[in-house]
Structure 1
């Protein structure tokens, strides 16, 4: 049985918590790509966090990372040793995702502060 307080809390938080989880997961994946830039045969991977969030918003649910599977990133210029990591691409993706992570954290912090204020009676 679903706890009504959990449901209300999830509705109040919205997709902000899910977005934060997805952004953190994508940062880990990209960092792994960068760490393996010199590993022969390593295939760069990525997570399309924007697409997962769009599907979650359309379906009206949050908290689930369904469909958040890793995909291999196609290299523009694969190296001779089979490594598909392109450092400039990974660094740009990391920086963009880090900004989106910060924005998601800001939204989540704002929602939590609003909830805390409501619980305190608007103090």
Structure 2
């Protein structure tokens, strides 16, 4: 009998990738807190999860059969959007609020760990079922 990992692992396989991507985006915001005209970005988790589950995106055309198939998606398709600033412009055009970014980074880290724990428990259950325990 074949094992369907999509059903066995649920959405946790997708949430790890999205949380990882959000970590990169939030870290970029924190890194660029002093960069003039930098606009804070964030990811729309719900839209990104729906896109990951459906496999939607934009295919790239191949000009030769020897080329490997490519796949790309825009910021909007990935759920990445610019965040509206909570504070008035300081004159440099930067919209990053360092406290907000740190809080979101910490929250995202905890949610990533929770998804990882869920995925580990699912894999442990599958391992025990395969061994017949």
What TM-score does the superposition give when structure 2 sets the normalisation length?
A: 0.76
Give the distance between the partners of 2:113 and 2:6, measured in 1 at CA. 20
Residue 46 of structure 1 corresponds to which residue in structure 2?
42
Question: Could you tell which deviates more after superposition, 13-22 or 44-53?
Answer: 44-53
> Which one is further off, 108-117 or 63-72?
63-72
Give deviations 1:76-111, integer Å, cap 9, x for gaps. Answer: 123210000100010111011111000000000000
Q: CA RMSD in A?
A: 2.2
Higher Cα Rg: structure 1 or 2? 2
| 1:62 counterpart SS class | helix
Choose between structure 1 and 2: higher strand proportion: 2
Q: For the structure 1 residues 45 and 76, does the alpha-carbon distance in structure 2 shift closer, same or farther, using more than 3 Å as the test? A: same
Q: Which has the higher helix share?
A: 1
TM-score, with normalisation over the residues of structure 1?
0.81
Alignment correspondent of 2:72: none
Equivalenced residues, count = 113
Q: Match of 2:53? A: 62
Runs of 4+ residues deviating >6 angstroms:
none
Give the whole-Å Cα distance in 1 for the aligned partners of 2:131 and 2:115.
24
Shift of 1:49: 1.4
Tell me how far apart the structure 1 counterparts of residues 120 and 12 of structure 2 sit (CA, whole Å). Answer: 9
Q: Are residues 11 and 62 of structure 1, via their aligned partners in 2, closer, same or farther at CA, if it must alter by over 3 Å? A: farther
Measure how far apart 1:64 and its partner are: 3.7
Name 2:122's counterpart in structure 1: 111
1:116–1:16 distance in 2 versus 1, CA, 3 Å? same
Deviation at 1:20, TM superposition (A): 0.7
